[in-house]
Amino acid sequence: MNNKLKTIFFGTSQFAVGVLEQLKISTSQLLPEIIITTPDKPAGRKLRLTPPPLKIWADENNIPTLQPEKLDDIFINKLKSENWDLFVVAAYGKIIPQSILGLPEHKTINVHPSLLPKLRGATPIHSAILGNEKETGVSIILLDEQMDHGPIIFQEKFQLYKNSLSELPTENELEKQLSILGGQMLIKIIPQWINEEITIKEQNHNEATYTQKLKSDDGLIDLSDNPETNYKKIQAFNTWPKAHFFQNGKRIIIKKARLENGELIIDRIIPDGGKEIDYITLLK
C-alpha cells in the first residue's frame, strides 16, 4: 500500500486515542483525514463543557473533527460529498446507520476490545475484569447496524493474568494495553483488507454474551464480602464509578488495593471531598 488512504475515524474514548496513537507512530498513511466524535459534555463538579478524549487528541495532532448530535440525512450528505476508501470505528458510542457504513469503497471496520461474540456492548473491558476468565482480546469486524454483530476480520487474544488474580490489571491499564494491540492489528490488516486478501468469518451468534452500561452505585462494595470479588470491582471501576464504601455516612473511594494470600489489602483511599491518603491513616 503505497498511497495514503482517504479514511474517516469514528471514536470517542481513551481506547480510541490509544488505537490512533499506534497508527501515528507507525505510519502517517493510515491516519484519518477526519475524526468524527461525540459532542462536548458537562464534566466534573462544576459541570464544565468538556471535549471527549479523542477530540483533544485530534486537536493536538491537527486533524479536523466533526461532532454531530445526530447521524441524520444532513450529516450523511456531508460525507457523500467526497469519495472515501475506508471508515474505521473504535469506541464511538453510537450505532452508525447502514447508509454511512456502506459509503466507503472498502466499507467500515470496527475495533472492539473483546473476543467477539463474547462481551458485546458498552463495557467489555470492565466486564472482562469482573468475569472469571483469564483472557480477553481484540476483534476487528466488518461493521453492520447491529451492536458488535458483524463478521470477524481478525482477532488476537490477550492474557489478563498469568499466575494469580493478584496480577489483574486495572480498567485503565487494560484499556491502554488493548488499544495498543488494536492499533497494531489495524496496521497489519488494513493493507490486506484493502487488497481483498482476507476472508471474513461469521460470528457464532448463539455464543454471544452482552455487557451492561455502568451505574454510579455499581462501585459500592461491602468490605465483608468475598475479597476476590471486591478486588475485581476495585480494578474494574478505578476510572468510574470508582469502588467505594461508606464509613460514618461518608463515601470512601478505594484508590489502590492488592490481594495477598486471599486477603484484600487496601493501600490508598480518597475520603469524600479530601485528598488521597494511606488507608491506615483512616484507621487511626
Each residue's pLDDT, cut to its tens digit, for the chain (284 residues) gives 557 889 999 999 999 999 999 999 987 688 999 999 999 988 777 778 899 999 999 999 999 999 999 999 999 999 999 999 999 999 999 999 999 999 999 999 999 999 999 999 999 999 999 997 899 999 999 999 999 999 999 999 999 999 999 999 999 999 999 999 999 999 999 999 999 999 999 999 999 999 999 998 999 999 999 999 999 999 999 999 999 999 888 999 999 999 998 899 999 999 988 899 998 887 65
User: What is the per-residue pLDDT for 89?
Assistant: 98
Indicate the fold that domain 216-283 takes in CATH: Methionyl-tRNA Fmet Formyltransferase; Chain A, domain 2 (3.10.25)
User: What is the per-residue pLDDT for 259?
Assistant: 94
User: What is the per-residue pLDDT for 1?
Assistant: 55
Residue in 252, 230, 241 with CA at minimum distance from that of residue 166: 230
Q: Give the start-to-end residue ranges of the domains of the chain.
A: 7-207, 216-283
User: What is the per-residue pLDDT for 284?
Assistant: 59
User: What is the per-residue pLDDT for 233?
Assistant: 96
Domain 7-207 top-level CATH class: alpha beta
Euclidean distance between CA atoms 108 and 268, whole angstroms:
43
What's the pTM value of the predicted model, to 2 decimals? 0.94
Q: What angle (nearest 5°) sits at the alpha carbon of residue 234, between those of residues 94 and 19?
A: 40
Euclidean distance between CA atoms 87 and 105, whole angstroms:
9
Amino acid at 258: R
* Cis-peptide, bond into residue 241, ω within 30° of zero: yes
CB 113 within 8 A of CB 125: yes
